[in-house]
A and B are shown apart, each in its own frame.
Chain A
Amino acid sequence: MIAFQRVAHTFGGVRALAGIDLEVAEHEFVAVIGRSGCGKSTLLRIAAGLLTPSRGRVLVAGEEVTAPCRDVSLMFQRPALLPWRSVLANVLLPAEVLGLGEQRSRAHELLELVGLGGFEERLPHELSGGMQQRVSLCRSLLQDPGVMLMDEPFSALDAITRTELSEELQRIQREQPRTVLFVTHSVDEAVLLADRVVVLSPRPGRVHEITDVPLARPRALGRAELDEVSRAVRASLGEVTA
């Protein structure tokens, strides 16, 4: 579904990414992990069509990415909600901008799905950080994307909310599988959510190692078999920094 082909990127003489080759199958959940400065966010922005790579190319559904498109949604570290819009109006933003027609009932369903039914008319600042990020998730889902790019979406949240949201994402992913590329700092989160975990080495970013997570779902944090995979990923991360 997503294919990075020898993708390299340079920012003003500094190499951020050096020859990334990576394929993500349809409905696969791939987590990308690495130290800061390994070009994780750059990778996502290239896949989203916000950045043109210096070399190489990215294919989504077999077509080269040259500009943002409807089938790919991007979710950020912070909720990135428009503070002047109600929760409902925020969720409906993609419909307005992309011209998707009437999506009101779908927006209600999505809010219901993440437990925000009844909050439609609130303004973002009236919600907690976790709730805001849920709204942001609904907004991403509204455009019904085949591919979801998530840039550390839970990293600004407290540990408890973070676990809750990971579980929710798992549930949504099981009910309606999508292709997900998920950037994170957290090994546990990566192993909990992903089918495969990609470890990037820093400066310039390169694929260091890919670890499969062959565990049945639903998964819960703290299980022994999860820890085993986490250890493997940590070891791999250790090599990168050594």
Chain B
Amino acid sequence: MKAVLPVLGLLAIVGAWWLATIVFRVDPFLLPSPGDVAGSFLELPGYLLEQTLVTSWEAVAGFALSVVIGVPIALLVVGSTVLERMFYPLLVALNAVPKIAVAPLVVVWFGFGIGSKVLMVVLVCIFPIVISTASGMRSTPNELVELFRSLAASRAHEFFKLRLWHALPQIFVGLKVSITLAVVGAVIGEFVGARAGLGYVISTSGASADTSLAFAAMALLAVVSVVLFYALVLLERKLVPWAEERRVV
């Protein structure tokens, strides 16, 4: 039942789009109809799915790497005022640089292969993860911190048995923001220089004026984003069942 409404919404939008292309007789070069897009996909399904896998892999690898790097950075930042003062402003400044401006440089450094794409993904993903983890750990209620102190808990206990757990719901907020950005990051990387991936498909289809192919690739990108996002939502429900009842402290 829960799936009915989103499907209905999607059908309504696709229907309106299709209707618009027929009623206004839009040139398929400008706006292909959903039928043209589906046709494009069916011409090269194997190839497109392969490119989808390439982009998904880049996004997932970069995302995983961001978690592996980002969470420890947050731990260090929360754990040490000195480190925070030294590096936090730098991190903010780094994040303020438009990633698209860095992309050509990243490709120059890491080449046309997957390395440069994964790095692009890390660049866009890591900041939300660091911020959400750090702020989640900082917002641990004072009472719980006092409880741990009254038990003569070590810093390690305080961080790994209390703060990190307390931060989990907020970490997931950051993860959900990051996972959608991950796909964007991968595509930016592919735009700038690649030999595979959906971003590559889109940029080459522009050169050959194949608009429906570009649309098919975009639709696949959307599917990838949605699938990854909801995979995280499922994981969250499994890992953080208490978060829906946050009244308890």
Contacts and interface: CB of A to CB of B under 8 A. Distances in A.
A78 B248 CA distance: 9
B152 interface: yes
Interface residues of B, number: 24
Main secondary structure of the interface of B (DSSP, over half): helix
Contact of A78 (B143, B240, B241, B246): B143
B157 interface: yes
A69 B249 contact: no
A179 interface: no
A48 interface: yes
A83 B153 contact: no
Contact of A74 (B147, B240, B241, B242): B147
A153 interface: no
A50 B150 contact: yes
Max chain A Cβ within 10 angstroms of own Cβ: one of B150, B157, B165, B168: B150
B165 A74 contact: no
Interface string A13-43: 0000000000000000000000000000000
Contact of B245 (A48, A50, A76, A125): A125
B248 A132 contact: yes
Nearest to B146: A50
A81 interface: yes
A84 to B, nearest CB: 5
A205 B146 CA distance: 22
Interface string A62-102: 00000111101110101111111000000001101110000
Given A81-B248, A83-B246, A84-B168, A76 B148 contact: no
Nearest to B150: A74
B86 interface: no
Main secondary structure of the interface of A (DSSP, over half): loop
Q: How large is the interface on A (under 10, 10 to 19, 20 to 34, 35 or more residues)?
A: 20 to 34
B151 A68 contact: yes
A174 B165 CA distance: 37
Max chain A Cβ within 10 angstroms of own Cβ: one of B144, B152, B246, B248: B248
Contact of A97 (B153, B240, B245, B247): B153
A78 B249 CA distance: 8
Interface of B: 141, 143-144, 146-153, 157, 161-162, 165, 168, 240-242, 245-249
7 contacts: A48-B150, A68-B152, A74-B150, A80-B141, A83-B245, A84-B240, A123-B242
Given A68-B150, A80-B143, 12 more contacts: A67-B152, A73-B150, A74-B150, A76-B143, A78-B143, A80-B144, A81-B249, A83-B246, A84-B240, A97-B157, A98-B152, A125-B247
